[in-house]
Structure 1
Amino acid sequence: MPGRTQNFGANDWVARSRAAVWHPCTQMKQLEAVPPLAIARGEGPWLIDTDGRRYFDAISSWWVNLFGHCNPRINAAITDQLGKIEHVMLAGATHAPVVELSERLGKLTGLGHAFYGSDGASATEIALKMSAHFWRNAGQAEKNGFISLQNGYHGETVGALSVTDIPLFKDTYAPLLRHSVQVPTPDARLAEPGETAEAFALRCADALEAHLAEHAATTAAFIVEPLVQGAAGMAMYHPVYLTRARELCDQYQVHLIADEIAVGFGRTGTLFACEQAGIKPDFICLSKGITGGYLPLSAVLTTDAGYAMFYGDATARGFLHSHSYTGNPLACRAALAVLDIFESDAVIAANRSKSIEFTRLLAEVAAHPRARHFRHRGMIWAFDVADATPGFATRFHLQALAQGVFIRPIGHTVYVMPPYVSTADEMAMLAAAILLALSA
Structure 2
Amino acid sequence: MTTAELRAADRDVLWHPFTQQQGWSAEDAPIIERGEGCTLWDTDGVAYLDGVSSLWCTVHGHRHPAIDAAVKAQVDRVAHSTMLGLSHPGAIELASRLLAVAPRGDRELTRVFYSDNGSTANEIALKMAFQWWKIRGEEQRTKFVYLDMSYHGDTIGSVSVGGIDLFHSMFRPMLFDGIRVSPGDVDGLERVLRESGDTVAALIMEPLVQGAAGMIMHPEGYLRAVRELCDKYGVLMICDEVATGFGRTGTMFACEQEGVVPDLMSVAKGLTGGYLPLAATLATERIFAGFLGRFEEFRTFFHGHTYTGNPLACAAAIATLEVFEAEDTLGALAPKLELLETLLEESVAPLASVREIRRRGFMVGIELVDFPVEARMGHQVTLAARERGAIVRPLGDVIVLMPPLSIGADELRRLVAITTEAIAAATGVAVPESVCTA
State the TM-score bracket (shorter-chain normalisation): over 0.9
Secondary structure of the residue aligned to 1:85 is coil
Choose which of 386, 397, 403 in structure 2 pairs with 1:401.
Answer: 386
Indicate whether 1:67 and 2:67 are aligned: no
Distance in 2, matches of 1:383 and 1:343, equals 31
Aligned pair partner of 2:313 in 323, 331, 336: 331
Count of aligned positions: 416
1:370-385 paired onto structure 2 within 5 Å: 370-385=353-368
Instruction: Give the superposition deviation at 1:207.
Output: 0.6
Work out which of the residue numbers 73, 80, 91 in structure 2 matches 1:80: 73
- The alignment status of 1:318 with 2:316, answered yes or no, reads no
Name the structure 2 match of 1:192.
none
Q: CA deviation at 1:288?
A: 0.3
2:180 aligned with 1:182: yes
Give the match for residue 286 of structure 2.
305
Change (3 A) 1:331 1:22: same
Q: 257-266 or 418-427: which moved more?
A: 418-427
**Are 1:239 and 1:276, in contact at CA under 8 Å, matched by a contact in 2?**
no
Q: Distance in 1 between matches of 2:265 and 2:231?
A: 16
Q: Does 2:98 align with 1:105?
A: yes
Report the Cα distance in structure 2 between the residues aligned to 1:245 and 1:17, rounded to whole angstroms. 46
TM-score, with length taken from structure 2: 0.93
Residue equivalent to 1:283:
264
Q: State the distance in 2 between where 1:319 and 1:239 align.
A: 36
Aligned to 1:131: 129
Moved more, 117-126 or 412-421: 412-421
Aligned to 2:45: 52
Matched, 1:265 2:250: no
| Residue in 1 that maps onto 2:166 | 168
Per-residue deviation, 1:10 = 8.5
Using the TM superposition, name which of 327-336 and 366-375 deviates more. Answer: 366-375
Cα separation, 2, equivalents of 1:371 and 1:319: 48
Q: Distance in 2 between matches of 1:214 and 1:71?
A: 51
Q: Secondary structure at the match of 2:393?
A: coil
In structure 2, the residue corresponding to 1:409 is in which secondary structure?
strand
Deviations 1:106-159 (A, max 9, x none): 122141220011001000110000000000011111111101100000011111
**Equivalent-residue separation in structure 1 for 2:367 and 2:283 (angstroms):** 36
Q: For the Cα contact (< 8 Å) 2:3–2:43, is it kept in 1?
A: no
| SS state at 1:91 partner | coil
1:232 aligns with 2:217: no
Contact 2:3–2:44 under 8 Å retained in 1? no
> How much does 1:294 deviate?
0.5
| Alignment partner, residue 198 of structure 1 | none
1:210 to 191, 196, 204: 191
Give distance in 2, aligned partners of 1:36 and 1:313: 56
1:210 aligned partner, one-letter code: R
Residue type of the alignment partner of 1:328: N
CA distance in 1, matches of 2:279, 2:109: 15
Match of 2:30 among 16, 37, 41: 37
The CA distance in 2 between the partners of 1:232 and 1:155, in whole Å, is: 12
Cα shift at 1:344: 1.1
Unaligned runs of 5+ in 2: 103-107, 426-438
After superposition, the CA RMSD in angstroms is: 1.3
Q: Find 1:253's aligned residue among 222, 234, 237.
A: 234
Q: Which of residues 78, 85, 88 in structure 2 aligns to 1:95?
A: 88
SS for the counterpart of 1:375 is: strand
Could you give the per-residue CA deviations for residues 364-417 of structure 1, whole angstroms, max 9, x where no partner exists? 212222222222211122221113332112211111111111111111111210
Larger mean Cα displacement after TM superposition, 258-267 or 421-430: 421-430
User: Partner of 1:317: helix, strand, or coil?
Assistant: coil
Q: Is the 8 A contact 1:64 1:292 kept in 2?
A: yes
Q: 1:11, CA displacement in angstroms?
A: 6.6
Aligned to 1:196: none
Q: Hey, what does 1:386 align to over in structure 2? A: 369
Paired with 2:313 and 2:368, the residues of 1 have a C-alpha distance of 38
